[in-house]
Amino acid sequence: MSTDTEPAANPALTDPDSRIAVVTGASSGIGEAAARALAAQGYHVVVGARRVDRITALADEIGGTGRQLDVTDEQSVTDFVAGLDRVHVLVNNAGGAKGLDPVTTANFDDWRWMWETNVLGSLRVTKALLPALEASGDGLIISITSIAALEAYDNGAGYTSAKHAQAITHRTLRYELLGKPIRLTEIAPGMVETDFSLVRFDGDQERADAVYQGLTPLSAEDVAEVIGFVASRPPHVNLDQIVLKPRDQASARRNIKTG
C-alpha cells in the first residue's frame, strides 16, 4: 500500500483483527528498520517522516501505510493520526542531534531544533495517539531516547538536555498511565551507525564517518531487533528501560578509541 492521502482508505487500518504499529522518523535508520521488524511480526505499520518518497517506498515494500509527518508541526501531526482509532504500538523515533558546541557558544537554532523534534515532537505524537493506544486494549509506547538521556558530556548539552527531557516525559507517563492498558518502554541506544552523525555535523560525511571508524557500532537492525522483542512480549510484561551499547563503547565519551 502506498502513501495514503485518504486517511481511513486502507482497510487494514479499520479492520478489528489487524494490529497497528506507528513509527515516526521512519524514512531511514532505526525507524526504517523498526518498521520492517514490526511488519515481519504481522503488524500493519503506519510509517511517518518528512521525506514522502522514502516512506512511500517503505510502505509499499512492507505492505503498510505511508503518511508524511513533521513532528514539529501541529497540523501535520493531526493529519497523520486522522483515522487511526486503534493503535497497538507507537515507536517515537523521530529526533536527533545538531551540533557539538559548548554551552558558552550554544547555537540557539540547533537547540531549538533538538527540543522541537526530540521533546515536543514526541510529546505531540504521543498526546495525539493516546486515545487510540488505550482503545486498542493493549497499547505500547516505545520511546527511542539515547544514552544521552542518562549522561552529561562536554559539548553535548543541547542534545543531552533534549534527550533527558524526552525521557523524563516518557517516564512520567509510565506513572500517569498506571491502571490503563498501555505499556511504556524506553530504549536508550549508544552509538548506532545511521545518518545520526551526518545530521549532527550538518552533512559533513568525513566527520560523521570518523565517529564510527576504529570500532564496531550498533546497526539500526540491532536496535530494531530489540524493538521487535519488546513488542512481542505479552500484555502484562512491561520492559521499562533498555540501554544498549556496542561492546566497544562504555559511555557517551568513552570507547575503545578514547580509552
Integer Cα distance of 27 and 40 in angstroms: 17
**How far apart, in whole angstroms, are the C-alpha atoms of residue 43 and residue 60?**
14
Q: Please select the residue that binds ligand 8X3; options are 25, 121, 158, 190, rule is CB under 6 A.
A: 190
- Residue 14 sits at the vertex; the CA angle it makes with 50 and 3, to the nearest 5 degrees, is 25
Binding segment for ligand 8X3 (CB under 6 A), chosen from 43-51, 53-61, 98-106, 143-151, is 143-151
Per the annotation, the verdict on 212 as an active-site residue is no
Residues with Cβ within 8 Å of residue 172, at least 6 apart in sequence: none
Other C-beta atoms closer than 10 Å to the C-beta of 188 total 20
190-201 burial code (b ≥16 CB/10 A, e <16): bbbbbebbbbbb
- Residue 146 touches ligand 8X3, criterion: CB under 6 A: yes
The answer to the question of residue 122 lying near ligand 8X3 (CB under 6 A) is no
Smallest gap, in angstroms, from Cβ of residue 117 to ligand 8X3? 13
**35-43, 78-86, 140-148, 232-240 -> range binding ligand 8X3 (CB under 6 A):** 140-148
| Residue 108: C-alpha distances to residues 116, 148, 152, 163 (Å) | 12, 19, 19, 16
- Which of the ranges 9-17, 73-81, 132-140, 145-153 carries the binding residues for ligand 8X3, by CB under 6 A? 145-153
Q: Smallest gap, in angstroms, from Cβ of residue 230 to ligand 8X3?
A: 18
End-to-end C-alpha distance for the chain, whole angstroms = 48
Nearest of 233, 32, 234 to residue 242 by alpha carbon: 233
Interaction between residue 31 and ligand 8X3 (CB under 6 A): no
Residue 94 binding ligand 8X3, by CB under 6 A: no
Q: Does 252 bind ligand 8X3 (CB under 6 A)?
A: yes
CB of 142 to ligand 8X3, least distance (A): 15
The interface region with ligand 8X3, picked from 8-16, 19-27, 141-149, 201-209 by CB under 6 A, is 141-149
Q: Which of 148, 162, 218, 223 binds ligand 8X3 (CB under 6 A)?
A: 148
CA Rg value for the chain: 18
Does the footprint of ligand 8X3 cover residue 160 (CB under 6 A)? Answer: no
User: What is the residue whose three cell numbers read 559511555?
Assistant: 251
| Phi, psi angles (nearest 5°) of residue 114 | -65, -40
Q: Which residues are part of the catalytic machinery? A: 159
Q: Interface with ligand 8X3 by CB under 6 A: which residues?
A: 146-148, 190-191, 252
